[in-house]
Structure 1
Amino acid sequence: MTGVETRSVARDSLFLLADIRVEHNAEVHRTRVRNLSDGGMMGEGQLRVQRGHRVIVELRNVGAVNGTVAWVQDNRFGVAFDEEIDSQKARRPLQANEAEDTVLASPSWAHRAPPPPQRKNLRKI
């Protein structure tokens, strides 16, 4: 590594816990959040996901955020959020007086993973 940051979006290194649910699955998984930016996150845990899976991430002080698994490596994975969030809110201590509703910024198409293929377009080999 050269020590030069090549990413276009700043990320916060932190240690948070988040609840993640894969769409169409009722099971909730507690996952460690290692990096968080306005457009996505890196999670670590025993959650078995594949690239393209749609997920719902419950972040402290932010709420439920929809996203797509962008990459998987061992027990770590990246999630590209559908809409940008205020990632600094997740760093703050939990506030009892803050409203539950979350104001999301405009959609971030730069961080969006491609949609999973549709079943009708697949063929058996």
Structure 2
Amino acid sequence: MRMSDIETGSDSAGADDKRQPRQSRLVKAALACSRFGQFDVTIRNVSQTGIGGKAPHTLNLGERVTLFLPGHDPMMGTVRWVVDHRFGLETDAEIFPGRLRAAHSDTLVAADSHADFQIMPPPKVSAWRPGLTQPQPLPGHYGRKRYPLLCTKGCLSGRRE
């Protein structure tokens, strides 16, 4: 065994002791900081002492932020790692994943839980354009529109000249 393997093993073992078990979650939350104000974030995993997520802005290492999680009071935290728009945050207060689930399920509505739809009749669209006259349809006629013939001599006899 090489010396670097022993050192790497001891370092990773120490990091594993410090690391809390994570629970995979997909939750919307908000962060607030002095640079960007308050903005929405997506939380991807949660532990008792921190979160991992994705933000629309790139956060700075060591930056202090306020975290607004569903089912929790606002809490302060410190940014511990950043990769592009993904981040890890260590919170000052404890996070309760059970509260997250309960608060999140309150806002979820099953698709079939209520039927608020109505069947609407199709819109009555007119093809009328300025400069064109609209013909009057003959009563009781379906299909191709028929227009009354202009009568000249012999209209009454049924003949047309």
| Residue among 82, 87, 90 paired with 2:92 | 82
Instruction: Please list, as runs of the form range in 1=range in 2, the aligned pairs for 1:55-70 lying within 5 A after superposition.
Output: 55-70=65-80
Written as runs of structure 1 = structure 2, the 5 A alignment for 1:1-125 is 6=16, 8-22=19-33, 24-25=34-35, 27-92=37-102, 93-94=105-106
Q: What is the Cα deviation at residue 82 of structure 1?
A: 1.0
| CA RMSD across the alignment | 1.8
Runs of 4+ in 1 over 2 A off after TM superposition: none
CA separation of 1:84 and 1:76: change in aligned 2, threshold 3 A: same
Residue identity over aligned pairs, in percent, reads 28
CA distance in 1, matches of 2:37, 2:45: 23
Please, which runs of 5 or more residues in structure 2 have no aligned partner? Answer: 1-15, 108-161
The structure with the largest strand share of the pair is 1
- TM-score, reference length from structure 1: 0.64
Residue identity in the other structure for 1:83: A
Deviations 1:7-59, CA, capped at 9 Å, x for gaps = 7411110110001001x357211000000111000010212210000000100
Q: How many residues align?
A: 89
Structure (1/2) with the larger helix percentage: 2
Question: Are the equivalent residues in 1 in contact too, given 2:64–2:78 (CA < 8 A)?
Answer: yes
